[in-house]
Amino acid sequence: MSPSRRKLVVGNWKMHGTHAANEALLEALKSAGPLPSDVAVCAPHPYLAQAAERLARSAIGWGAQDCSAHEQGAYTGEVSAAMLADFGCRYCLVGHSERRALHAESDQLVADKAQAALARGITPIVCVGETLREREAGETEAVVKRQLSAVIHTLGHCAGEMVVAYEPVWAIGTGRTATPEQAQAVHALLRAQLHAATPRAAQMKLLYGGSVKPDNAGVLFAQPDIDGGLIGGASLKATDFLAICRAGAH
């Protein structure tokens, strides 16, 4: 790992949470004291104000799980980047595999959402990754490069301001995890693609997402191009999430 790249661990709560459960989880995270990684949580939209209030005086950042590509208008149910920025949102996931699969989000729509977030001072966490069919067909490299290329092209000289998360779809919520070597190989590929696009590539954070747990986080985060994780289910359990955050020290 480059000494200039501090680890970043981001919790993705997905469609989970209640006001009371969130309160307990956020309090446990705040009470943990200094952590060796930068830490953030991405909460469902109804709970963003709660996260903003509870984390306001802590080192833990917060973010949204999605945003609209549109600035404003007749888009019922959508939430704009301007709305998120209005009360201090720092991060926004875009292109999560569940959005791509369940909502048919195209590579270009993901790129447009990343651009909308950046325009409002929000760091987009751009997710890329292949399905099991694509991996078995030997298409991993082509798929992730295509997904990232759309964002690089749209962001132009601002491409270096995003965070990239590699999440093999076959390892999300399945209990299966890419081996450290498999994950590193894709991260190295993405880093090389970014090097060709921006002088900031060496400083950019590339996260791994896909069944990261306390017992495998350390070896994953030790890979030279893996700068932390995008954590799903384990981010809902304070003990597990904090253990993963502390893995950034190893």
Which residues are tagged catalytic? 96, 167
The closest of 59, 64, 49, 63 to 29, measured between CA atoms, is 59
Percent of the chain as helix, strand, coil, to the nearest 5:
50, 15, 40
CA distance 162 to 117: 10
CA distance 83 to 188: 35
Number of other residues whose CB lies within 10 A of the CB of residue 217: 27
Question: How is residue 233 annotated by DSSP?
Answer: G
Q: Decide: 244 and 162 in contact? Cβ < 8 Å.
A: no
Which amino acid, 91? Y
CA distance 177 to 212: 7
CA distance 143 to 184: 16
Enumerate residues 6+ apart whose C-beta is below 8 A from 50. 19, 22, 23, 26, 43
